[in-house]
């Protein structure tokens, strides 16, 4: 089987998680009707244009077709009719003009797997990472974890740290993707629980900061190489210190979400988050 799905509730929301295994042969009908010029959005066509014929291009097309089919299935629409756009921070979304555009979705891919989270009522973020040998956890932890997360990680025996780091990382990135701001928000500015398994907990993120634009660039860099390249600037460090004094009770409009781990077979780790409040309009 190439795709699987799981439905569950998380905080105030009902979510569905779909999983695609790119190594599995396409299901009957999965590869049909895939003329990209018919159904890709402009931003997807731009990406396709730089992919030479071969496995990477085939994977890209398969993933995009799958994404559309799943979303269209949830909306009872035809996949080629969906209009996808992106928010100002790059999060793919259904354009507001779409009937039923209230559905929110988020995609993550790592290795040969992809996860797609759908939610009809709340913003959603999902992250998936693949354990890799030689993950230099201690240096990464200094750059992207909060002090309390770092302390928990460094308290573990060294061989356990890479998996524990990835577990923390997918939790944090799922929250950041639910905000729609991505890594530019500053992963060290908030903490997720460090317990081995999360069934569903509330997490509070501080308000976005004015220095976010600067970090967005390092976020884009991080995208190219995985979760390793977030290098906070001096300004970001100052903001992180300022944010350390922030709490939900201290005011300002932070972002509150619900977070849960997703059960994956090794070497994968995954987590999903939904916003606690109502979704914003999709302004692509
Ligand atoms: C989104 C982001 C966290 C991705 O991290 P990653 O671990 O490399 O990749 P993942 O597999 O987890 O997720 C990639 C998917 O996230 C989605 N995504 C992109 N930007 C997103 C955002 N701001 N919020 C939530 N999801 C986003 C996309 O669907 C993307 O897959 P696709 O490009 O194939 O459609 C990272 O690229 C990021 O921070 N981007 C935002 C950069 C930014 O702020 N840009 C501002 C524009 S100036």
Report if residue 139 sits inside a domain: yes
Query: Could you tell me if the CB of 184 is within 6 A of ligand 1?
Result: yes
Q: Is residue 284 part of a domain?
A: no
What is the reported pLDDT for 209?
78
Average pLDDT over residues 63-83: 90
CATH number of the structural domain spanning residue 94: 3.90.470.20
Given 68, 99, 121, the domain boundary residue is 121
pTM equals: 0.86
Using alpha carbons only, what angle is made at residue 239 by residues 149 and 136, rounded to the nearest 5 degrees?
Answer: 40
Least confident of 55-64, 114-123, 202-211: 202-211
Q: Same domain, yes or no, for 271 and 138?
A: yes
The answer to whether residue 282 sits within a structural domain is no
* In a domain? residue 33: yes
The answer as to whether 188 is a domain residue is: yes
Same structural domain, 90 and 212? no
How would residue 277 be classed by pLDDT, with cut points 50, 70 and 90?
A: confident
74-124, pLDDT tens digit by residue? Answer: 998 888 888 899 999 999 999 876 666 679 999 999 999 999 999 999 999
Residues of the domain holding 132: 127-275
One domain, residues 271 and 160: yes
Pocket test for ligand 1, best of 82, 90, 173 (most atoms within 8 A of CB): 90
For position 280, what pLDDT does the model report? 65
Q: Which residues of 168-192 are buried (b: 16+ CB within 10 A; e: fewer)?
A: bbbbbbbbbbbbbbbbbbbbbbbbb
Q: How many domains does the chain fold into?
A: 2
> Measured in angstroms, how far is the CA atom of residue 105 from the centroid of ligand 1?
12
In a domain, 211, yes or no: yes
Q: Token pair of 54, please?
A: 């071969």
């Amino acid at each position: 089987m190439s795709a699987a799905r799981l439905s569950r509730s998380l905080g105030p929301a009902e979510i569905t998680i779909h999983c695609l295994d790119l190594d599995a042969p396409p299901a009957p009908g999965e590869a049909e009707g895939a003329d990209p010029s018919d159904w890709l959005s402009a931003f997807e066509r731009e990406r396709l244009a730089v992919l030479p014929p071969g496995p990477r291009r085939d994977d890209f097309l398969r993933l995009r077709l799958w994404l559309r089919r799943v979303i269209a299935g949830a909306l009872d629409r035809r996949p080629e009719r969906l209009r996808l756009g992106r928010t100002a921070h790059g999060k793919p979304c259904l354009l507001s003009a779409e009937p039923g555009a209230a559905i929110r979705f988020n995609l993550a891919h790592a290795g040969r797997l992809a996860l797609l989270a759908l939610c009809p009522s709340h913003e959603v973020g999902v992250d998936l990472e693949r354990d890799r040998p030689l993950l230099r956890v201690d240096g990464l932890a200094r750059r992207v974890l909060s002090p309390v997360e770092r302390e928990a990680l460094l308290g573990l025996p060294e061989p356990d740290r890479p998996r524990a780091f990835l577990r923390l990382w997918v939790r944090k990135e799922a929250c950041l993707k639910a905000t729609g701001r991505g890594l530019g928000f500053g992963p060290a500015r908030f903490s997720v629980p460090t317990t081995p398994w999360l069934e569903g907990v509330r997490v509070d993120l501080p308000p976005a900061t004015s220095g976010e634009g600067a970090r967005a660039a390092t976020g884009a860099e991080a995208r190219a190489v995985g979760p390793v390249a977030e290098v906070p600037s001096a300004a970001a460090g100052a903001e992180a210190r300022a944010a350390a004094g922030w709490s939900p009770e201290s005011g300002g409009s932070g972002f509150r979400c619900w977070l849960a781990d997703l059960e994956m077979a090794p070497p994968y780790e995954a987590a999903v988050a939904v916003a606690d409040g109502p979704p914003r309009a999709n302004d692509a």
